[in-house]
Structure formats: C-alpha cells, structure tokens
Structure 1
Amino acid sequence: MPISPNQGSTGGGTTVTITGTNLAGASAVRFGSKPATITANTPTSVTVTSPSGSGTVPVTVTTAAGASNPLNFYYIGAPFKASLSAASGPSAGGNTVTISGTGLATASSVAFGGNNATPTVTSDSLLSVTVPAGASGSVGVSVTTTGGANNGFSYTYVDPPTITSLAPTSGSTSGGTTVTITGTDLSTTESVTFDGVTAPFGVINSTTVSAVTPPGGAGAVDVVVSTTGGSATAAAGYTYVAGAGI
C-alpha cells in the first residue's frame, strides 16, 4: 500500500494519497494518533490532508473490515536560513547567490519578493539560485521546502549606474587628480577605473563618487564605474595631459 508523498510539513496541510485495495468506504485515516481529513476515496485510493505532527509516524486506513497495515510518514520542519551570500544585485537578475542553513534538502523554490526561481540543492545545508529580475528596491527572500517556507532575509535590487559628468575632465599623466563623478545609482560602487587601471575612490552619495586618478599615458581614456547593479562607461571621458618639458 504505497503512500505519496511520504513526507510533509510539521504544520500539516500536505495532500497525501494512499493507494491499495479494498479501500472503499474508508472511515478514518490516522497519522500516528491524529486523524487526517479525507478528501477523496475510491476502492483503490484514499486522499487526505495530513494533520500537524513531528518525527516519523505510522499511517493507517480504517474501513469496515478493520485497519490496514501501517506506512511511515516523515514530518519535516520548516527550513532555517543562516546566511545569504549577497544582499544585493542587479535589477536585471542573472547573478547566482548561495543560501546556507538547515532543512534545505527539499527546497523547491526561492522567492525574491514576488519573483520565484528554482534552486540547485547541494546539500541539506546549502543551495544556490540564479536571482530573477526584479524592480529596484528591497524584497524579502523566502525558501519553500516540503517542510514549509521561511523568511528572514532581504535582498536589494540595484539599477545599473549612469555617468552624467566628470570634473575635472583632464589632469596630469602622473595621476593624483581628484575627479568628481556625477551620475545615478552610484551608492554601491565597487570600483572605478581609468583606462582599465583601478583608482582609489570614495562614495559620497547615490549620485556622486570621488576618485583619484592613477598615472596614465597622454590622451583621452574611458572611465568605468562598476556597482552592484552593473557598470557605466564615460567613453573618452577623461584626458591625461603630459607636462611641459624642455
């Protein structure tokens, strides 16, 4: 007499189908000592909604002829999330984050706000998921398993940055010039480069970053600002000027 599924949430509410023979007119289905709600019954199957419980319990079906042989049903608790590898990412999604915790082995979906993604389960304590696209702002992260769902983390979608101006737009090839970069969505800036060379920088606010130019060759170069949300390029936005020589 098979039972499907043979595991469910400790909170109950799992739809369980028991198949076998001579099951017509089932008067009771018990999970351990607790009765389940019968929702459908035929001579070869009984469908019920599991009651709450814990651990492993025997499931029996009672008909006019008596009780059946028992089948095991395993109660699984809701997952616990211990850490999220990244708390923010691009609004376009596509980046992979990992979630660690316990009770993750049966994870079937991870929701970022109202956007769902299917995880790759590594073990009971670790899964990875590709973040779906979402609107700019913070959303809750929820993992759904056979045992239920668990919230507790937030994730921030970040729009890609833009660069609207640089001041000044030129300076010495020896570097050391402080350049103010103005744009949008700059608060999560991770790097600033001049012609591919990393520059020291500081975030002033969401629209302003201050960077100090590294040494460079004479001529116009690209300036790239990379953030959690992506990157923006000011093509030929800064010009290195060689000093006078005699």
Structure 2
Amino acid sequence: MLYRLLKYVLLGPLLRLLWPARVIGAENIPEQGGVILASNHLAVADSFFMPIRVRRRVTFPAKQEYFTEKGFKGRLKKWFFIGAGQIPIDRSSGSAAQAALDTAIRLLREGHLLGIYPEGTRSPDGRLYKGKTGVARIALEAGVPVVPVAMIGTDKVNPIGSKLWRPRRLEIRFGRPLDFSRYDGLSGDRFVERSITDEIMYALMELSDQEYVDIYADRAKELIAAEAAGVRPTVPSQPSAAEAERVPEPKAG
C-alpha cells in the first residue's frame, strides 16, 4: 500500500512532472515471474527514477544502515525506504554476504522484480566499471533472466556531492532479457560467474554508450581520492571472495 501511495500519489507524479523521461524498451520486462533489472549506477536518483517507469513493483536490496538510524529522522528514513520497496541487507561479514545472496534469490523465486547495480556503487566519473559476480550467482541460483537497464542523465540531475536535484530530461533504456539457462547447475563456478557478469556489463556498455573501465568502481574511487590528495596510488587491490560475490546495491558516495 505504501509503495503504491508513493509511486502513484505522492512521489511518482512529482518526479514525472519535474524530470520527464524518454523510456525505451519497457516491453522487454517480462510481465510476471522473477526478473533481475541490472542497471548502471550514475546517481542516488537512479533508485527513484527507474521504478516509477516500471509497471511492476521493483525491490532493491539496500544497506542495513538505511533502516537502523535512531530518532525521528531514522524512523522516517526507515518508513521511506520500506515504502520505496527496498529491503535491508547486512553485508558486514562473509556470512552476512551469503545471507544477502539468499534473500535476493528467495525474492526472485517468489516472483519479484529485483533491481541490482552490478558495479556495487555509483560511478565516480560517469564511466561504466567492472561488475561484481554476485549478480551472476543470483541469476543462476534463482534461474531468472536479467534485463539490462541504462540510466541516462541522472548524473546531471544528482551530481556527486549535490544536495538539490537539477532539472534535466532523462532517458531510460531497457535491453532485451539475457538468458543464462545454458549455465544451469554451474552456480559457484567462478569462471562461469565471471563470464556471465562480463556479458551483463557488455550489454550495459552497448545500451548506455558509456566508456567501460576494467576495474571495480570502489577501486576507481580510491585512485581518484589519492590523486586529489597528491598521494601515490598503491598496487590495485583485489576484492575478497565475499566482496566480489556480494549483492550489489544502491550506495551513496
């Protein structure tokens, strides 16, 4: 009820009015059954503009901190994020990361539409970065298709560090569903999961027209911060198994 109230009465009409969007390929989203919407991630605003343009309810995994802040502000944020269709995910340890994967798989098996950002965090410079393999593990375990989604222009609406959203016409492109049923039974194979993830990222690159960079966005942020501080970058770090396979989710910063 709260989701529908926000989408159709309170928030949705306002976003549609102030930020009109051209939507391409919405018919590529299956009308029923579990589906992953794998999107590029340019801004916090992505998690608001994409769901209001999708007929079905979109559920996003979100970091647990969004739901545990104390006081009136914390309760208000929790109410909002739950109403917006987001679910809390604890990813503070290896067991928590697995629990996050299990939650996403359960939702998909129940027929939900799950929004995921394979990059794990928003792009620091508008380019497309290497995807984390959690999206592949989830797709294989749940046995669902992946629809690539390209958000265009949201980084101009909500630039990094901005407090107010700026007027801008947007474009949202939904690609054809990617079917990975040929890999049935191969969940847990790191080579297979890497191949699937790279296929998803290639589809996103073609759909979004972004330049692709073969490092993780987290690492790119470290390098940008080091350069800004005049610090010599260290040897590129590799994520742990839990880090690489975790559920990618909306994450500010």
Same fold (TM over 0.5): no
User: What TM-score does the superposition give when structure 1 sets the normalisation length?
Assistant: 0.22
The structure in which a higher percent of residues are helix is 2
**Bigger relative contact order, structure 1 or 2 (CA pairs below 8 A, ≥6 apart):** 2
TM-score (ref. length: structure 2): 0.22
Structure having the larger proportion of residues in strand = 1
